[in-house]
């Protein structure tokens, strides 16, 4: 039990926590992430959806990904901060890493949707990069 995953929005109305260990951490350069976060990319920490406790009023915005799956993004109803996302068919919650109370331990493992990255974004040359998503096992 690490208690690494604990955080919330800018105003404090939305809070989340889980004892689950992070599954994977990645920088996502997709256009939707850019628009939702107001930044050139988001750093997402994927955690098991079941164990997550979330409180506070959120607004949901649903978009269709390039794979045709629905992606639900949840932002604070008061301050508007983008806190987490859920992609249908992916059994995890993607926490927006900058909303963690302590994000200093976060270490992105890959860059995804590099095909839509802003040309002025600096990426770690050592990280694996995928035009879209890495090949998935399962189904």
Task: Tell me which residues in 65-84 interact with Zn ion (CB under 5 A).
Answer: 76, 78-79
User: Cβ closer to Zn ion: 20 or 111?
Assistant: 111
- Considering only the stretches 6-14, 91-99, 101-109, 124-132, report the one whose residues sit in contact with Zn ion under the rule CB under 5 A: 6-14
Which residues on neighbouring strands pair with residue 6, listed in sequence order?
A: 17
Calculate the alpha carbon distances from 135 to 2, 20, 112 in Å: 29, 24, 11
As measured in angstroms, the least distance from the Cβ of 126 to Zn ion is 21
- Considering only the stretches 13-21, 57-65, 94-102, 116-124, report the one whose residues sit in contact with Zn ion under the rule CB under 5 A: 13-21
Calculate the alpha carbon distances from 58 to 1, 9, 83, 131 in Å: 27, 10, 9, 31
């Amino acid at each position: 039990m690490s208690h690494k995953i604990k955080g919330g929005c800018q105003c404090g109305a939305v809070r989340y926590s889980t004892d689950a260990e992070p599954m994977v951490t990645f920088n996502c350069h997709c256009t939707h992430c850019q628009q939702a976060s107001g930044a050139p990319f988001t750093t997402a920490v994927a955690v098991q959806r079941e164990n997550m406790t979330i409180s506070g009023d959120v607004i949901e915005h649903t978009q269709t990904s390039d794979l045709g799956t629905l992606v639900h993004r949840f932002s604070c109803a008061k301050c508007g901060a983008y806190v987490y996302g859920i992609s249908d068919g992916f059994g995890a919650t993607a926490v927006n890493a900058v909303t963690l109370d302590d994000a200093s331990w976060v270490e992105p493992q890959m860059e995804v949707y590099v095909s839509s990255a802003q040309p002025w974004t600096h990426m770690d040359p050592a990280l694996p990069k995928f035009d879209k998503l890495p090949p998935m096992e399962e189904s």
